Amino acid sequence: MLKKKGYNVIGLFINNWEDPVFKCNWIKDSIDAMLIANKLKIPFQVIKMKKEYNKYVINYMFNEYKIGKTPNPDILCNEKIKFNFFLKIATIKLKADFIATGHYVKKKELIKNNKIIYRILIGKDLNKDQSYFLCRLSQYQLKKSLFPLGNLTKDEVRKIAKSNNFCNAYKKDSQGLCFVGKIKLPEFLEKRISKKKGKVIYIKSSSSIYKNNNISKTDNFFSIKKKIKYKETDGKIIGYHSGAHQFTKGQRKGISIGGYKKALFVIDTDIEKNIIYTGMGREHPGLYRKYLFIKEKDIHWIRSDIFLSLEGEKMKVFCRIRYRQSLQKATLFKLKLGILIFFEKMQYAISEGQFAVWYLNKELIGSGIIS
């Protein structure tokens, strides 16, 4: 596509991972990329970044799980690897003007006060839109990036691949950890975090702990009732697990305890005491909240002309707290220590460590790490 538009294109493949146990398909993928490059008659080379990937993505994952948070390695991989180290190699070492990636997003430019502002918009294929994963990019990173698939659907991309007899035309969509693929998380975490037997506590949905669990408005500010801090005495022991770090809010698989009318879900974890708290059924009140908080240091605005800076400011937005979640109506409130996001509807399994991202219409304008 870019070649047809007149760009002088070179093919680059990033090799970030090699592990004798948790293997990825990087060799096969790199061969596929090389064959396509040969078919297009463009130069091709493999860029190794295993040290950088281990430092900024893998270490980040383990550190977050150790303290009971739910990381998003794909977002860090984009911020630190693809659009940082890889971009520098392409533009400085190889003298490229841009890098082009296969993300399903649109990039547009806006002239404001004689200055170019780069915008990220939701891709044409709403089922494949990947703007969520680019929520930490800077104006410079956007300036140097192209997203040729933004105005196409996945089916249209496959048709183009088939018409050109590309070897990956029928390849399944990639899934799992960025550059690694599908992994069994408990086994992966065991590489650095030892198993440790802990209690599984069951909390009834009718528990008094859920009464008045909300926030109240006072003048122009919000008084937040502290998140529920569960105690063993709030429920009963129903079994044991091999490490609270292996679980995240909303998780169903891995609890392995039967005898209930509905499935058990993780409603919270206590890493220090190595306890997981569970409730019966997806409708359990412990799984839902209408608000979340983001610390000031964890907020990222994509545009320098759209942001909240003064205490008391607010902004109506659309928000999502996980990839492929439908956009949710919400309001951002600027507080002294960060931003409060208040949703119009209850949200399922808001997890600390994950990223909340927000949009004005179809434009991604900011994000933050959930506290």
User: Beta strands of the chain (E only): which ranges?
Assistant: 11-15, 44-48, 99-100, 105-112, 115-122, 145-146, 198-202, 215-218, 221-224, 236-241, 264-270, 275-280, 288-301, 314-320, 328-335, 338-348, 355-360, 363-370
Q: Which amino acid is it at 144?
A: K
Q: 24, 135, 178, 319: which is the annotated catalytic residue?
A: 178
Nearest to 105 by CA among 84, 119, 85, 117: 119
- Report which of 77, 178, 88 is spatially closest to residue 137, judged by C-alpha positions: 77
What whole-number distance in Å separates Cα of residue 371 and Cα of residue 368? 9
DSSP state of 285: G
Q: How far is Cα 83 from Cα 80, in angstroms, rounded to an integer?
A: 6
Tokens read off for 51: 């040290």
Known active-site residue 135: no
Cβ neighbours of residue 38 closer than 8 Å, sequence gap 6 or more: 44
Given a contact cutoff of 8 angstroms between Cβ atoms, the answer to whether 40 and 3 are in contact is yes
Catalytic, 178? Answer: yes
What span, in angstroms and rounded, lies between the C-alpha atoms of 52 and 55?
A: 5
Number of Cβ within a 10 Å radius of residue 44: 16
Written as one letter, the residue type at 111 is I
Measured from the Cβ of residue 7, the count of other Cβ atoms closer than 10 Å reads 15
Identified catalytic residue from 24, 77, 135, 319: 77
User: Which are the catalytic amino acids?
Assistant: 77, 178
